[in-house]
Amino acid sequence: MTTDYRLPTIDYPVFPPRRSYVLPLPGHRQIVLGEHPLVVGILNVTPDSFAETEDHQSVAAAVDAGLRMADAGADVLDVGGESTRPGAAAVSAEVELARVLPVVRELARRLTIPIAIDTCKAEVARQALDAGAAIVNDVSGLRRDQALAGVVARAGASLVLMHSRGRSETMYDEARYADLMGEVILELRASVAAAVAAGVAMERLVIDPGIGFAKRPDHSYGVLAQLPRLADAFDRPLLVGPSRKSFMREALDGRPAVERDWGTAAAVAAAVLGGAHLIRVHAVGEMVQVVRVAEAIRRHAH
């Protein structure tokens, strides 16, 4: 009698496949997305950012920080001149432009990686694109300034549409969901429709579920756990930005934002395993390592 020592075959769940895309940029450039996740470095040039470990308010300091992020492995730099943390006060377009334009212009001159402008204002987007930015990252999903999509379309730029509700002062009051992902998908579809109606080609759109924006901690964890559902709903690249956000506070025993990089590493790994194409982070060098290892795990699951 021969004993069969082979283990039975069991179909364990594996990580969802990541679709491939080409994201067109101005000047006949493009970004190829899908082979591996790209790291987006966060460069806030505001006096009230919730999670910075150094001061980026001077142009020289901000440019130096951006160059160091590029050296550390950032694939894109995301420059923002207005804080979007909960409770942050709004600033005028003039103030925002004074903060970001010199930084965008100098970084675009010195780097070959794409520069994104993090703004909800059409005029800020227009001038930043003229200064060398290639992507607009709108955390309002076109709900604050309908003219922004037209600016993107005319410039031939790409556009990140993020899910949120309300403004920074009121977003948590609107964090009520009967069907978390169903409602996020429905509201993002409205943003996509507005962009396309304004002339932005579908191939230029990126979807961001808005971790921490109008979402309680349970909502943010739920979004991270259900990224494949978002990918299936849109067939567009996904950007995920969990870096140092407050949804991790309780799990990390109340640590302040600047001490949440270990928690961020776990969230980044989850985003990569869930199929994200772009990961937006503060600590670029450290998170590049996390992304690479998490991606290696994904590849061995297929």
CA–CA separation, 165 and 176 (whole Å): 10
Cα–Cα distance for residue pair 183/259, rounded to 1 Å: 32
Catalytic, 292? Answer: no
Rounded Cα–Cα distance for residues 281 and 268 (Å): 9
3-class SS of residue 285: helix
The torsion of the CA quartet 51, 57, 63, 69, rounded to 10 degrees, works out to -10
Closest CA to 222 of 192, 162, 182: 182
Q: Which of 99, 121, 143, 280 is catalytic?
A: 280
* Spatial CB neighbours of 2, under 8 Å, sequence gap ≥ 6: none
| DSSP-assigned states of every residue in 199-258 | T--GGGEEEE--TTSS--HHHHHHHHHTHHHHHHHH-S-BEE--TT-GGGTTTTTT--GG
Q: Which residue has the tokens 């001038």?
A: 127
Exactly one of 244, 245, 260, 298 is catalytic; name it.
245
Q: How many helices (H) and strands (E) does the chain have?
A: 9, 10
Say whether 215 is catalytic: no
Catalytic residues: 245, 280
